[in-house]
Chains A and B, each alone.
Chain A
Amino acid sequence: MTDNAIRSARPSKIMQYLRRAALIRESWVGSIGLGIIVFWVAMALLAPLLAPFPPNAQYVPFMAPGFNLPPTGTFWLGTDHLGRDILSRLMWGARTVLFYAPLATFCAYAVGILMGLAAGYKRGWIDDVLSRSADVILSFPILVLYVVIITTFGASGINIVLAVTFASAPGIMRIVRGLVLDLRNRDYVAAAQTRGESSLYIMFVEILPNARGPLIVDACLRVGYVIITIGVLGFLGLGLPPPDPDWGGMVNETRGMAMSFPHMTIFPCIAISSLVLGFNLLADGLREVSLRD
């Protein structure tokens, strides 16, 4: 057999990953989490097709769930204080949260991993500078940090991403640095060093892939926290600027009327909690499966 024939007989990298991902089926907790996430992702992707009304269109304010307005249609979850369909706003709001939460987490990881690898592998003054800077940022209460950043730079999607990156990267850096400190003394790293590989190669090809397990679990949990953060910022009036739907903002705008019209507040609350729960269950499942390996 030639080398090529051997290679083609082995499953491709992508197939390997998919097969690994399919292991989540072995954890029922993880499956439920994944199911919830898939549900909301589907809602977000199909919002233009599924949402019964445009998200910002105004009809009749304060209507209870099931309100029927012929010939316009039925408002299954009722309307909010400006007469907008709550179901449609939840669907479109899912797009916002499912776009910004993973994006912000990804950015935080990109920065955190770079800092952690550099600090853990290079040590010396780089480690000192990065670790002390991280300590400074971590010494602030995280919510205060968000509020300061958003009020200074203004409320917008990109600023939320920046704020989350700034506030979360140091925590991620600590995890990565800890893992690197352990992995840098392994034999395969020594072997690569002997081969004369560059530092970048060793950090990204030898060390990082071997640190991925705990990082993936942490990322899943962190997406959940970021969803809550986006919700909290919206609740504090620092989220995405209206009128575009944002779950936290929907709670904030209607909570004062929750005594009289609870449906306007409850449904977005359920949406936020279910999505966060989804990510947490998925993280649990992943940990379970990875321990089994």
Chain B
Amino acid sequence: MTKKTTDGLHSYIPRLAEQLGQGRVGRRDFLRTAALLGVSSTVAYGLADKIMGTSSAALAQSATPKKGGTLRVSMNVKEISDPAIYDWSEKGNIGRHIVESLTQVGSDNVTRPHLAESWDASDDLKTWTFRLRKGVKWSNGDDFIADDVVFNFERWLDPATGSSNLGRFSSMTVEEGGKKKMAPNAIERVDAHTVRFNLQTADIALPESMGDYPALIVHRNFTKQGGNLAENPVGTSPFALKNFRVGETAVFERREGAYWGGEVYLDGIQYVDHGDDHSAWLAAIASNQVDLLYRLIAQNVPAIKQMPQLQMYETVTGQTGVARMKVDQKPFDDIRVRQAIQACIDHGRLLEIAYQGFGVPGEDHHVSPVHPEYAKIPAMTQDYDKARKLLAEAGHGNGLDLTIDCVAQPAWEPNTCLALAEMLKPAGINLKVNILPGGTYWDRWTTTPFGFTSWTHRPLGVQVLNLAYRSGVAWNESSYANPEFDKLLDDAMGVLDPTKRKEKMVPVQKLLQQDAVIIQPYWRSIFTVANKKVKGFEIQPAEEMHLNKVWLDA
């Protein structure tokens, strides 16, 4: 049964407030956890301000937004027909201008209500009740109701859909004959605007998962009406898709009528695809062909600083790349080989060489210091003697020839692999870097013995661990299967208290680090750049484009 305090807040909130007052949790942890427990962001910010004596109002915009104009954005325009199977944040960005998600992760990495108005969780975190926003209209005139949400969840959790949400919401699934499927009664329609989720295991990341890009909510008749968002763009967003050509452009116009989220300033948004060449993106913004880039690569930061009309945005993220080893294939099935490779790595040096030092060194456990549950554990240190000893024990005393697959673009990925290859040389490991076109790499990313895969930012550390390292899940590219790890991860995911969850993360992170499944060179900062006339834009750590409040100062 859900416990609530007399003022309607979750029973955990007063304790959390107390911890914030004592400095045991940070302001960011407080805001995030409060939002996770269904406290509206206004109330959460207000509480935090009261406790800490700060003022969020001072952060508000000083200028009055102006209406009108079309924002031109340079970004790859990819195929967008079915949000459930999106696998690129670019797809999510286009899709998000048509359909929306139940929650949204802001530029401060805090998850807030979006199509869902509020939610609460039972104290065991196994029963979550989501109250949907009333008065939200689909572009075809229908009301947004609980049936829409139920339809989407049932579709995601049907293995036939092939959605990564099956792993994302694994707490709503059961295994039958080795296959995951939706647990009976996992989703309950309480009334037209209330949905209840009955989980098999506790899951603190449920609201964050609902904000991820494959969790965009389509209309309940999506499948019946063809199942193609590009051809039949019915949505709740304030924009309407006017023109869409893969690899070329996506044009949106503001819809007539009121939007539930209040005033929207832009008349339209135009995405232009400038291909994979970052110098073309740079040239496009430098010559004023576009107002905003989806991404500015680190190598181009110095060039931007010479252009006074442009404003650069930067944020440290949970974005990273991992040189992951297939633990069930030779020679990586021998843990000594993996640990030997790990012992050759100086993470700080990789960051400096391959990413100009913009970011934080990695620790080979895929939990970032920007994640709320990150536990500081000892980092691995470079030790060539140890590496040589391990290799000799594994029968590779005379050297070892390896090949790593990676994509050609963005350049930081092959550059990291080249830096890695230099670093392995002193231990007698000859690493060949096999640079592939993007499409070729992504065809084999889960099967190649040794590959360098980029992972996008997710608000909680446990989310990626759940997607990529749990036994048997679709995106488990290393084939890592360790029941002990799965159990420790379950334990951590059942804990709400940030300090206690940190404690539970220590064994999780240590185990992954010691099993040497991945070499994680660094957590990278990301950048983007806009013309200074673009106002109200904030860089989001998962590179999501939230443009509903952006305006142009003509």
Contacts and interface: CB of A to CB of B under 8 A. Distances in A.
Q: Do A and B bind each other?
A: yes
Interface of A: 56-58, 61-62, 81-83, 237, 241-243, 253, 255-257, 259-261
Nearest to A255: B279
Nearest to B299: A257
Interface SS, A side: loop
Given A242-B435, A257-B300, A257-B303, 6 more contacts: A61-B356, A62-B356, A237-B435, A241-B432, A242-B418, A243-B421
B506 interface: no
Contacts of A257: 299-300, 302-303
Contact of A242 (B277, B297, B414): B414
Interface of B: 277-279, 282, 297, 299-300, 302-303, 306, 352-354, 356, 408, 411, 414-415, 418-419, 421-422, 432-435
A243 B433 contact: yes
B434 A256 contact: no
Contact of A82 (B282, B415, B435): B415
Contacts of B303: 257, 259-260
B419 A58 contact: yes
Contacts of A256: 277-279, 282, 297, 299-300, 411
A40 B76 CA distance: 43
A107 B297 CA distance: 42
A62 B415 CA distance: 14
Nearest to B415: A82
Contact of A61 (B353, B422, B433, B435): B353
B125 to A, nearest CB: 46
Contacts of A62: 356
Given A82-B354, A256-B282, A58 B299 contact: no
A243 B414 CA distance: 10
A241 B434 contact: yes
B386 to A, nearest CB: 22
Q: Which of B299, B354, B414, B419 has the most CB of A within 10 A?
A: B299
A82 B277 contact: no
B422 A56 contact: yes
B53 to A, nearest CB: 43
Contacts of B300: 256-257, 260
Contacts of B306: 259-260
Given A242-B414, A242-B435, A243-B418, A83 B353 contact: yes
A253 B411 contact: yes
A83 B279 CA distance: 21
Contacts of B302: 257, 260-261
Contacts of B433: 241-243
15 contacts: A58-B422, A61-B352, A81-B415, A241-B432, A241-B433, A242-B414, A242-B433, A243-B421, A255-B279, A256-B297, A256-B299, A256-B300, A256-B411, A260-B302, A260-B306
A255 to B, nearest CB: 7
Contacts of A261: 302
A56 B419 CA distance: 9
A243 to B, nearest CB: 5
Contacts of A82: 353-354, 415, 418-419
Nearest to B352: A61
Nearest to B278: A256
Identify which of A61, A255, A261 gathers the most chain B CB atoms within 10 Å of its CB: A61
A243 B423 CA distance: 13
A265 to B, nearest CB: 11
Contact of A81 (B277, B299, B435): B299
Contacts of B279: 255-256
Q: Which 5 A-B pairs have the closest CB atoms?
A: A256-B279, A260-B302, A259-B303, A260-B303, A243-B418
A62 B358 CA distance: 14
Contact of A58 (B353, B408, B414, B432): B353
B25 to A, nearest CB: 39
A259 B306 CA distance: 10
Contacts of B352: 61
A56 B431 CA distance: 13
A255 B283 CA distance: 12
Contacts of B278: 256
Nearest to B354: A82
Nearest to A57: B422
B491 to A, nearest CB: 41
Nearest to A243: B418
A241 B282 CA distance: 26
Nearest to B409: A237
A56 B430 CA distance: 13
A81 B356 CA distance: 9
Nearest to A237: B408
Contacts of A255: 279
B419 to A, nearest CB: 6
Contact of B435 (A56, A241, A259, A260): A241
Contacts of B408: 237
A255 B299 CA distance: 11
A81 B298 CA distance: 11
A158 B399 CA distance: 26
Contacts of A83: 353
Nearest to B279: A256
Contacts of A56: 418, 422
Contacts of B354: 82
Contacts of B435: 237, 241-242
Contacts of B297: 256
A132 B406 CA distance: 42
B355 to A, nearest CB: 10
